[in-house]
Amino acid sequence: MSEESAFHNTFDGGVERLIQGQTIHVHYGPNRIPPQEGPPVDGAWIGREREVERIAADIAARRPVAIHGESGIGKTALAAQVIDHLRDRYPDGQLYVDLGTDTDDPAEVLYDMLLSLNVDSSQIPKGLNRRLGMYQSVTRGLALLVVIDGVVSEGQASRFRPASPASGYLVVGQPLQDASFARHEVGPLDPGHAAEFLRRACPNLVEGAPERLVAELGSKPADLSALAKLVRHRSLTGLFEVREALGGSSLFTGIYDSLSESAKWLHRMLESLPNREFEGDLTQIFEGSVDWTKGTLDPFAELEALGLVKSHRPGWYRLEYQITGAGGRHARTGAVRSDVHGSVRDALIWHIRRAQLADHAIMKARMRFAPPLPRHIAATPFTSEATAIEWFRTLYPVLHRSLLVTAKQRLHTDLTWALAEALWAYYANASRHEDAAEAYRAARAVADGPHAEAHLSSLLAMCLIRIGGFDEAEQVLDHAMEALESAPPAAERAEAVDRTRLKGIVTEAFGRLRQGQGRFDDARDVLLRSCEYMAEAGESRAVGIRLRVIAETYQAEGRFEDAVATWTQAAEQFDPGTDWRNRNGALLDIAMLRLRRGDTGVVPEIDDLLKPFEQGGYWQTVAETHERVAEATGEDGAPDRDRLERALRLFDAHGAVLDAARVRQRLGLNGSDER
């Protein structure tokens, strides 16, 4: 924890590199790419052309449109065709949200939508109303198509409508009473079109079979798609063979019954996961197991062939149907079925290992203390910080919920510490401090041993400090230090070093607490003690980070010479090659302090220190420094306009809408002014 506690990084949908050291937001740009979202268009479907044209005409006439119809009737597929049909009409992009599979928390939905609209995550406020206000502000003046799927209420239907009259708005779901919407009910396909779909999808069917199958089973698109997969998978040729394959059961039950034993087992296992969406690589941990090899076919390929799982983006799949009715669990107890229990644990281990790999990709060499995971489960490392960030964003709700469940229900508590430690990379960087506090309280309650208690307590305390929970943080840290002090002597040197590091982390959190309380003398005393622990453990980088915090306390009290001396001492702790960001950050702090005190001759030095940040794409540091320099070097109370405009260009290019608005106001510009 120590490495990242002196600064705050943020997550951004366009991040290509995330680093440690001050507040640094990363985005490779400056070109902003309009979102092009939406479900894939299935070219096999025919017969919806007129409906697409009617819906598109209503949207073009600037009316909000609502599509409704029974489950499986093809509403989402129709919406996908509409999006594809209208892409060129909306150059600012297409946003698609599925409330049925994504989170249905409107504040979280708006967070993701704002990220898709290139708003930097650090600019997105907390709370539904504030995010709605920002969404309305950002979408004003855009030609954007917004599609909301899975709508079940009037409130959901109206909430996400964009502000610009040039934008289009389409909702998909339950029937609406709101007369302002142009309402379109979707029905089954025309029997002729349905038969033609089967004829194209199943060339093995004999002449006349498609028409007879449609007459008996209907023309609902979901049923037709499932039927086509069954026909192809079983090489069926006509109505009699389909009837025999179904055995009097429903279509979907018949499909499940046609699976091999291995595929049935895998489907039950996937049903037991807490999320419908999963990575394809997950199934590799089961290959070669007894359950996997019960049949002659690849069970995952079998599920995919029958449409029970579908790929919806590269490497990711979604469980389409929960056929067994109990979600892989016993219907009465909710417990995971015994035949998949061990595999569910392995799946949890795999996800924790992936979380650890994502943590390493993002946070690099921060200190970690959780015991190693079982070695029989391997996972693929991330190729970049960006992919690790996107992975965390996708699976965060599942990982957070899994941590709470394992802790509160005392299931797999031997894994709780590892998951809690790995999730710090997301909790801290995505500013989810309330969520993190909830999770670390739960994990701390099942901590096994003084090291686990101290580490989880320090993580909890850092979250509490950031949300103003000073009293609880004090109690938590007192318990953490007591646990370390009362622990039996370390049996090995490695254990002793870890204990020293943990004392350094807990005392650093105490220092942070005193800093937050404005008790700067106490903060420095505790932080210096933390430096001593880290120096004893050989962690010079951690010493440097703590010295930077001490320098901040001197600056807050107006003790500028002490601040400069401490920043200088901190810079000496960082390797100029491998940790230039922290080193340059400390030197930049010194230079900016000199500038604020009237030394304008330091400006060239500031620009030199900024060059590596510019070259590395760390635009937020560059923009904020330009803004501060502009205010300090202007004349007659006015900022340096040229430098302020440089900051504005960076803020605008990277979606920092609040920062851009502030700078624009300082320049005397409004939103329509040419810059």
Structure confidence by residue, pLDDT tens digits, 482-495: 999 999 998 899 99
In the predicted model, what is the mean pLDDT of residues 213-217? Answer: 93
261 pLDDT more than 80: yes
Q: What pLDDT is stored for residue 29 in this prediction?
A: 40
Most confident of 322-326, 334-338, 538-542: 538-542
Place 284 in a pLDDT band, splitting at 50, 70 and 90.
Answer: confident
Residue tagged 């607490």 (tokens): 513
Q: What pLDDT is stored for residue 565 in this prediction?
A: 97
Q: What pLDDT is stored for residue 297 in this prediction?
A: 65
Of 30-39, 54-63, 124-133, the range with the lowest mean pLDDT is 30-39
Residue tagged 């949300």 (tokens): 467
In the predicted model, what is the mean pLDDT of residues 364-379? Answer: 87
Q: What pLDDT is stored for residue 4 in this prediction?
A: 39
Of 133-137, 230-234, 468-472, 644-648, the range with the lowest mean pLDDT is 230-234
Q: What tokens were used for 305?
A: 């062939």
In the predicted model, what is the mean pLDDT of residues 354-366? Answer: 87
Side-by-side strand order, sheet with 277-279: 277-279, 316-319, 309-313
74 pLDDT more than 50: yes
Q: Please report, for the chain, the start and end positions of each structural domain, with discontinuous segments joined by +.
A: 49-185, 191-257, 261-327
Place 148 in a pLDDT band, splitting at 50, 70 and 90.
Answer: very high
Q: What pLDDT is stored for residue 671 in this prediction?
A: 53
Q: What pLDDT is stored for residue 412 in this prediction?
A: 84
Kindly report the length of the chain: 675
DSSP 72: T
Contact (Cβ atoms closer than 8 angstroms) between residue 404 and residue 438 = yes
6 pLDDT more than 80: no
Helices 641-653 + 657-667 axis angle, to 10? 150
In the predicted model, what is the mean pLDDT of residues 394-422? Answer: 89
> What b/e string do you get for 50-68 counting C-beta neighbours within 10 Å, with b at 16 or more?
ebbeebbebbeeeebbbbb
Q: Coil, strand, or helix at residue 629? A: helix
Q: What pLDDT is stored for residue 10 in this prediction?
A: 35
Q: What pLDDT is stored for residue 257 in this prediction?
A: 84
Q: What pLDDT is stored for residue 394 in this prediction?
A: 82
What residue type is 544 in one-letter code?
G
Q: What pLDDT is stored for residue 364 in this prediction?
A: 78
Classify 49-185 by CATH class: alpha beta
Q: What pLDDT is stored for residue 101 in this prediction?
A: 65
Q: What pLDDT is stored for residue 326 in this prediction?
A: 37
Phi and psi of 273, rounded to 5°? -70, 150
- Bond prior to 30 in cis (omega within 30° of 0): yes
Considering only CA atoms, which of 310, 413, 387, 337 is closest in space to residue 77? 310
Q: What pLDDT is stored for residue 103 in this prediction?
A: 61
**Gap between the Cα atoms of 552 and 550, Å rounded:** 5
Q: What pLDDT is stored for residue 21 in this prediction?
A: 29
In the predicted model, what is the mean pLDDT of residues 554-577? Answer: 95
DSSP 259: S
Q: What pLDDT is stored for residue 614 in this prediction?
A: 87
**Gap between the Cα atoms of 99 and 91, Å rounded:** 24
13 pLDDT more than 60: no
615 pLDDT more than 60: yes
3-class SS shares of the chain: helix, strand, coil, % to 5:
60, 5, 35
> What b/e string do you get for 151-185 counting C-beta neighbours within 10 Å, with b at 16 or more?
beeeebbbbbbbebebbbbbbbbeebeeeebbbbe
Q: What pLDDT is stored for residue 290 in this prediction?
A: 56
Place 337 in a pLDDT band, splitting at 50, 70 and 90.
Answer: low
Q: What is the mean pLDDT of the chain?
A: 86
Q: What tokens were used for 361?
A: 């990709």
Q: What pLDDT is stored for residue 22 in this prediction?
A: 30
316 pLDDT more than 70: yes
Q: What pLDDT is stored for residue 263 in this prediction?
A: 87
Q: Are strands 168-173 and 65-68 parallel, antiparallel or unpaired?
A: parallel
Cα 419 from chain centroid (whole Å) = 16
Q: What angle do CA 624, 627, 629 make, to 5 degrees?
A: 110
What residue type is 659 in one-letter code?
D
